[in-house]
Amino acid sequence: MVAKTFGSVLHGINGEVVEVESVRFNSRPEIQITGLAGNVVRESRDRIRACLRGLGIDTPSARLVVHLVPATQKKEGSQLDLAIAVAILAVEGLLPVNKIGKMGFLGELRLSGEVVGIPRAIAMMESLTARKELERVFVPVGNRWDAAVLGSPKLELVDSLQSVLEVLTQNEKRETAVSTLPPPETSAAPSDPLLDYVRGQATAKRALQVALAGRHHLILTGTPGVGKSLLSQSAQTLLPPLNDQERIEVSKIHGNRAALDERPFRAPHHSVSASALLGGGTGEVRIGEVTLAHHGILFLDEFPEYRRDAIEGLREPLQEGAVRISRVGANLKMPAQFLLLAAMNPCPCGYLLSRQQPCRCPPDRVWAYRRRVSGPILDRIEIAVGLPGVELREGPSHALVKASIERVWKIQKSRSPEGPALEGRTRHWFNDLCNKEFLSFRSRDKLLRTARTLADLGERREIDRQDLVEAWALRCDAKLLSSVT
Ligand SMILES: [Zn+2]
């Protein structure tokens, strides 16, 4: 007789269901785990024996083989403990085999029999609840919050192996079914109005407003001390909160509730390696900064100082909103829909654009410095503005910018995804401009997208000439930068 139940392991950021089979042979008592089990999984034998002894169950009574399917994929993690324990109890005749075949189990066992919470549980819970044949999925009480975010009626909370035994032998529905839990609370505390701390800088504030409203990547070039970092940091507090689906995706990546009240803001130092920025590495898959910034902001200060391979590696996520990680035996595609905010000095000394201080860099050094950010990368950044120094003109307030971004996101969500069309005369004028400036199709498309955001900010149904002129101005520095490269 073979007993079968279900557990899950992490594969990248997603959970993958593992079938846990067990079979009994009449020979010397021992437990054997097969199916590419990692060290932690193999050690579960001893944890489970200790737990069961505590419950007065002496196992194994014969040779038991626990097999993990699919056998070709390596499995790591202590979260399989509970499923393996249940499969062993079933094949020993202590749990009904027909019942556990329709159930999933997640949780690490303490020697006392307590079921403890596991990191990044939400992805594994999701994989189990998505399986049609599974009717009930038991998860640790310690992962109550993750379970409530997912909100599946199949999920039930357990605190010990003993309580699992009771539920399965007495056939009762737990009161701790997740559907009875209140939805998780997110903090409603107002965030600091960081944008108001930046004095003046109307142009930069406007650029930031447009970038966040239309989800356009932005690069700020300016002399040191003009507020590039503070402007970028304020971006996180200006964005609307995560919606339910985004919250699930973000918590699959971060695996803790701390990150969930606000959108992620990642600011890796310029010494970061390409694999730390993009993900990968040897051994266990490392989640890259681009994925940690999913649905949030990736802030790269001193942009040209990053390693060349790290900067170039951004092409794919900037274009596709995802990053592919190739490894021996597996190709992973990780989500990376972030908004890039990059800041840089105009030259190595930083004063090339300054009206107050002269730049002493020789032209070839300026050229070499800027060339570190290649044309293809600049081509994927819609908005580029230069800040020549402190601009005294005040920009819009934090509250106003935040409200406008929220409004535009709503408009964009309700609109069909077709590209923005131009009304007759505006179209002629725009085509003339594109021909005169030899704009590529990609550049035209970017200009139109930015202009669409500007029209939305101004609450206009049609894009007008003014929007195109402003979009052109917001892109001009990108043109200037790429002409240097
Ligand atoms: Zn300089």
Length of the chain: 485
Span 185-224, pLDDT tens digits: 655 556 788 888 888 888 889 999 999 999 999 999 888 8
Q: Which parts of the chain register pLDDT below 50?
A: 258, 482-485
* CATH code for the domain of 342: 3.40.50.300
CA 411 / ligand 1 centre spacing (Å): 43
How many angstroms is it from 385 CA to the middle of ligand 1? 18
SS3 string of the chain?
A: CEEEEEEEEEECCEEEEEEEEEEEECCCCEEEEECCECHHHHHHHHHHHHHHHHCCCCCCCCEEEEEEECCCCCECCHHHHHHHHHHHHHHCCCCCHHHHCCEEECCEECCCCEEECCCCHHHHHHHHHCCCCCCEEEEEHHHHHHHHHHCCCCEEEECEHHHHHHHHHHCCCCCCEHHHCCCCCCCCCCCCCHHHHCCCEHHHHHHHHHHHHHCCCEEEEECCCCCHHHHHHHHHHHCCCCCHHHHHHHHHHHCCHHHHCCCCEECCCCCCCHHHHHCECCCCCECCHHHHCCCCEEEECCHHHCCHHHHHCCHHHHHHCEEEEEECCEEEEEECCCEEEEEECCCCCCCCCCCCCCCCCCHHHHHHHHHCCCHHHHHCCCEEEEECCCCCCECCCHHHHHHHHHHHHHHHHHCCCCCCCCCHHHHHHHHHHHHHCCCCHHHHHHHHHHHHHHHHHCCCCCCCHHHHHHHHHHHHHHHHHHHHC
Q: How far away, in angstroms, is 270 Cα from ligand 1 center?
A: 20
Q: Are residues 106 and 216 in the same domain?
A: no
User: Which residue's entry shows tokens 């108001």?
Assistant: 196
Question: How remote is the CA of residue 108 from the centroid of ligand 1, in Å?
Answer: 57
Residues 203 and 249 grouped into a single domain: yes
Tokens 């009480």 identify what position?
141
Distance (Å) from CA 348 to ligand 1 centroid: 5
Longest dimension (CA), the chain: 88
Residue 300 CA neighbour count, 13 Å, CB half = 23
CA–centroid distance, 366 to ligand 1, in Å, is 7
- Cα(308) to ligand 1 centroid in Å equals 21
Q: What is the pLDDT of residues 365-407, one digit of tens each?
A: 988 998 888 888 888 888 998 887 777 788 889 999 999 999 9
Residues 164 and 200 in one domain: no
Domain shared by 140 and 219, yes or no? no
Strand partners, 2: 23
> Is residue 403 situated within a structural domain?
no
State the distance from the centre of ligand 1 to the C-alpha of 439, rounded, in angstroms. 30
Domain boundary among the residues 376, 397, 418 is at 397
User: Is the residue at 57 inside a domain?
Assistant: yes
- For residue 354, the CA-to-ligand 1 centroid distance in Å is 9
Do 227 and 351 lie in one domain? The reply is yes
Cα–ligand 1 centroid distance for 353 (angstroms):
8
Same domain, 228 and 161: no
Separation CA 347–CA 345 (nearest Å): 5
Instruction: Say if residue 171 is in the same domain as residue 34.
Output: yes
Residue 214 lies in a domain: yes
Q: Which of 119, 152, 180 is the last residue of a domain?
A: 180
Burial 92-116 (b: 16+ CB within 10 A, else e): bebbebebbbebbbbbbbeeebbbb
| Same-domain status, 234 and 322 | yes
Q: Are residues 130 and 252 in the same domain?
A: no
Side chain identity at 131, as an amino acid letter?
R
**C-alpha–C-alpha distance, residues 77 and 267, integer Å:** 29
Interval between CA 201 and ligand 1 midpoint (Å): 21
How far, in Å, is the centroid of ligand 1 from the Cα of 350? 5
Residue 352 Cα to ligand 1 midpoint, Å, equals 5
Number of domains making up the chain: 2
Ligand 1 centroid to 461 CA: how many Å?
A: 44
| Tokens standing for residue 395 | 């920009």
Q: Ligand 1 centroid vs 52 CA: distance in angstroms?
A: 71
CA of 469 to the centre of ligand 1 (A): 30
In a domain? residue 249: yes
Residues 53 and 159 in one domain: yes
Question: What is the 76 CA–ligand 1 centroid distance (Å)?
Answer: 52
Last residue in a domain, options 365, 381, 397: 397
Q: How far apart are the CA of 310 and the centre of ligand 1, in A? A: 24
**CA–CA–CA angle 422, 427, 429 (5° rounding):** 140
Instruction: Note the pLDDT of residue 485.
Output: 36
Long-range contacts of 265-268 (CB under 8 A, 24+ apart): 265/233, 265/235, 265/236, 265/293, 265/296, 265/297, 265/299, 266/292, 266/293, 266/296, 266/297, 266/298, 266/299, 266/338, 267/232, 267/298, 267/299, 267/300, 267/301, 268/300
Q: Give distance in angstroms: CA of 484 to centre of ligand 1.
A: 15
**Residue 264 in domain:** yes
Predicted local distance difference test score (pLDDT) of residue 171 = 66
Residue 219 Cα to ligand 1 middle (Å): 18
Note if the bond before 60 is cis, omega within 30 degrees.
yes
Find the 349 Cα to ligand 1 centroid distance in Å: 4
Residue 466 within a domain? no
What's the 70 CA to ligand 1 centre distance in angstroms?
A: 59
Task: Indicate whether 468 belongs to any domain.
Answer: no
**Domain residues for 344?**
194-397
| Burial (0-12, 13-18, 19+ Cβ within 10 Å), 206 | buried
Domain assignment present for 483: no
In sequence order, which residues have a C-beta less than 8 Å from that of residue 452 and are 6 or more positions away? 214, 420, 463, 467
Pair 161, 198 in one domain: no
CATH, residue 36: 3.30.230.10
| Residue 388 CA, ligand 1 centroid: distance in Å | 13
Sign of the Cα pseudo-torsion (376, 380, 383, 387, in order): negative
Structure-token match 């590039």, residue found: 228
Cis before residue 70, ω within 30 degrees of 0? yes
* 37/133 same-domain check: yes
Give the chain's end-to-end CA distance (angstroms, integer).
70
